Amino acid sequence: MPQKGYVEISVEVCKGCNLCVIHCPTECLALNTSDTNSYGLHYAYLVDEDKCIACQNCAVICPDAAITVYKKVA
Partner 1 sequence: MKKGYELIYKRPKTLLSKRMHYCPGCFHSTVHKMLMEVVEEMDIQEKTIGVCPVGCSVFAYDYLDVDMQEAAHGRAAAVATGIKRMLPDRIVFSYQGDGDLAAIGTAETIHACNRGENFTFIFINNGIYGMTGGQMAPTTLEGQKTTTSPYGRKPDTAGMPIKMAEIVSLFERVAYVERVSCNTPANARKTKRAIRKAFEFQMQGLGTTFIEVASNCPSGWKCTPEESLNWLKEHVFPYFPLGVFKEPAKEKV
Contact residues toward partner 1 (CB under 8 A) are 5-6, 12-13, 15-19, 22-23, 41, 54, 56-57, 59-73
Question: Judging by beta carbons within 10 Å of its beta carbon (0-12, 13-18, 19+), is residue 25 exposed, middle or buried?
Answer: exposed
Q: Is 6 helix (H, G, I), strand (E, B) or coil?
A: strand
CB of 45 to partner 1, least distance (A): 16
CB of 38 to partner 1, least distance (A): 11
The helix (run of H) or strand (run of E) holding residue 57 is helix 57-61
Q: What residue type is 9 in one-letter code? A: I
Q: Which is nearer to partner 1, 2 or 72 (CB)?
A: 72
How far is Cα 54 from Cα 2, in angstroms, rounded to an integer? 9
Q: Which is nearer to partner 1, 47 or 59 (CB)?
A: 59
CB of 34 to partner 1, least distance (A): 18
